A = this chain, B = another copy of it.
């Protein structure tokens, strides 16, 4: 019995997120992959993801751990899994890991990217992979908002209601805007992210950049922990899980 580390890419458009759901009619990325693995190994096989992603969120490199009894070499296994997967999910790497490797508990940090296209003129190509913001943005305010989000804070205000976690303290190592014309690309590196945290950060940054919220709402939200002080949750489709660090 070996433990494997799987690196996985998916287009989240047609899935109810990563995690298996109670609803019988929903299709998730996790159960789609488990179906392919169970078919390959001829026995029910489970995986554990580094983190959940919501419906519509994409991943360039999600990570999952798996225990399996097999003689198949990792590079052959990669191909054998991929032929059993639909075109919107692919395994990009298979590695043998330490026996006790656990994709979720061992994760030290994550990199998320959020893609914004700022223009009133509709852009239809690739529309499932970015959020189009029709209103103008003040670049300086956007940069300053990113800076204020960096560091160790109580992020309870930046969290979907109903999330059960032990602590809301998280460290954002870096929150950075890269602008290329109408494209505003946000990169967030942190030791962990609460449910919807990146989407609430981006939604708030965009409202600050558009002068609908004051820059001060960020520090106030850290102090008071009130979700209502912040902007709307930005749409799922703009969010990509880029990398998980171990």
Contact = CB atoms under 8 A, between A and B. Distances in A.
A178 to B, nearest CB: 14
Contacts of A92: 121-122
24 contacts: A9-B122, A9-B124, A9-B125, A10-B124, A11-B124, A11-B125, A11-B126, A11-B127, A58-B125, A60-B125, A82-B122, A87-B127, A88-B124, A88-B127, A89-B124, A90-B121, A90-B122, A90-B124, A92-B121, A92-B122, A93-B121, A125-B240, A126-B126, A126-B129
Interface string A121-149: 11111110100000000000000000000
Q: How large is the interface on A (under 10, 10 to 19, 20 to 34, 35 or more residues)?
A: 20 to 34
In this complex, the member of A9, A58, A125 whose beta carbon has the largest number of chain B beta carbons within 10 angstroms is A125
Contacts of A240: 125
Copies in the complex: 2
Interface of A: 9-11, 58, 60, 82, 87-90, 92-93, 121-127, 129, 240
A30 to B, nearest CB: 16
Contacts of A9: 122-125
Contacts of A121: 90, 92-93
